[in-house]
Each structure stands twice: as C-alpha cells, then as structure tokens.
Amino acid sequence: MGVAAPTNQTRTSVTVENKVIEEGVLYASAARTTAQTGTTMVNPGFTGVIVTVDITSVGVTPSDTFTIKGYDVASDKWNTILASAAKAATGTTVLTVLPSVVAAANVAVSAGIPARWRVDVAVGNATTATYSVGYSYIG
C-alpha cells in the first residue's frame, strides 16, 4: 500500500553543522472546535520527533488533547505513542518521541518514531481553541 507524502503541511529541510534537519507545520494557526485527524507523515529515516503545540487563544472551557500516533501495518491500525494532558489554557507544550529521552508523563516517551505517524487532536467539548502544531525530526 503506497502512502502519498503530506500535501497540506509546510516542510523545510536545512543543513546545520553537517546534519540535515527537517521541520514543518502540521496544523497552521487557526481556531478549531472539532476533533482533527492528522495527515500521515512519512518519516525519512530519523529516530525521533519533537512536536510543538502552541495554543494562543481559548474559549470558555476548552479541553484539547494532542496525540502522536504510529501506524502498524500488520494490524492496519493507528496506535498511541504519546498523548498530551488535556489542554485548557494558552501556552506552549513540547512533546518528544526519542529513544534516548527520559520518559515523562504526557510530554516525553523513550521510543523511536515509526515510518508513518500523525498527530490527532481530540476535543473534550466544542469550545474554540486557536492553536498551531509544528514538528522537527531529530536523531
């Protein structure tokens, strides 16, 4: 089964100190009230990823959860790698998936990022939250 590269994200590849770094935007800043299913990202061979969630505006009682999921070809299912705590206020949250990182509940997991992954957003209610989500491959 072939998977097309994402088309609605902004990607940038740069070289820093002889290392290629790839980063991009998964969700551009916008107000949202519904759950979001991320576009499948195709890992070009990195061992980890840092996902940055920046919530800049919230309605009365938002409760959004950002989940990094990996695809398992054998079961044809998306499985949770790391889920943030429910977010109800403005601020920045950094989620890290990397084999060498020290695990910390809801922010870091000691694991590799699989060949196919995505970031889904669950909404605890229909209150508006304005956020952006970016990523940087590492390792």
Instruction: Please tell me the predicted confidence (pLDDT) of residue 21.
Output: 76
Please report whether residue 2 resides in a domain. no
Name the 3-class secondary structure at 50.
strand
* pLDDT of 5 above 70: no
Please report whether residue 3 resides in a domain. no
CATH number at residue 121: 2.60.120.1110
Rounded Cα distance between 56 and 3, Å, is: 32
Question: pLDDT (tens digit, 9 = 90+) per residue, 49-102?
Answer: 999 999 999 988 878 999 999 999 999 999 999 999 999 999 999 999 999 999
* pLDDT of 120 above 90: yes
132: containing domain = 10-138
Rounded Cα distance between 109 and 24, Å, is: 21
Question: pLDDT (tens digit, 9 = 90+) per residue, 10-58?
Answer: 666 655 555 667 999 999 999 999 999 999 999 999 999 999 999 999 9
Please report whether residue 118 resides in a domain. yes
Number of domains comprising the chain? 1
Please report whether residue 77 resides in a domain. yes
Global pTM reads 0.87
